[in-house]
Amino acid sequence: MKLLPMIGHRLSVGVYLLFALFPLYWIIKISVTPDQLLFSQGVTLLPGGFTLGHFQKVLTDSDFPTFFSNSLIVSFSTAFLTTLIAAGAGYAFSRFHFRGKMVMAALLLFTQMFPLVMIIAPIYRVMAPLGLTNSLLGLILIYTAFNVPFATFLMQSFFDAIPKDLEESAMLEGCTRFQALYRVLVPLTLPGMAATLGFVFTAAWSELLF
């Protein structure tokens, strides 16, 4: 009797995987089908022929490698800078009480309420005199500025989940606050940093408006 639920569960997972991965398979199938067969053989589950000419054309006869490398540079740089800044800001919001803390948090939240379309023109007016239009550095700065607020709240939640007693115990043993940060808190928040890094990388990779 226990075997039936297990079979049903695995069958359901298998059906879901087939449904979710079929579009990916269809893209790969079309990419290896020769041009003359794409519109002549009709809809078939398996390709009627095989070719790697499409990949060769994209990689050697187009600017795709440049576009792809630019996207990697912008996305990785944005993710690294945003995670670094957000980790420091999130730690400050989580561990310290200072004047204007709630105002700063409200301002960070307030920045997320504006649609990007509304601020394209002002940002262009700011970036153009600095020579940062049509520039990878300009994109990195803009993406970092827009992702830091959300990433800060994300990192703050990870720091809030770590008891302050661990940090205080390290300082009682002779560590400075900075030593307690990178010896105790940073290893514990590495999963949170990885999650923030992945989120920001995906956001920068998929952003097309700027």
What share of the chain has pLDDT > 90, as a percent?
Answer: 24
Could you tell me which of 207, 109, 116 has the C-alpha nearest to residue 156? 109
Judge whether residue 154 has pLDDT over 60: yes
Provide the percentage of residues in the chain whose pLDDT is more than 70. 97
Answer whether 201's CB lies under 8 Å from 75's CB.
Answer: yes
Residue type, 81: L
Residue 30: pLDDT band (50, 70, 90) is confident
Q: How confident is the model at residue 61 (pLDDT cuts 50, 70, 90)?
A: confident
Per-residue pLDDT, 111:
78
Q: How far apart are CA 85 and CA 145, in angstroms?
A: 10
Confidence (pTM): 0.76
Measured between alpha carbons, how far is residue 136 from residues 4, 63, 67, 131, 139 in Å? Answer: 56, 16, 11, 11, 5
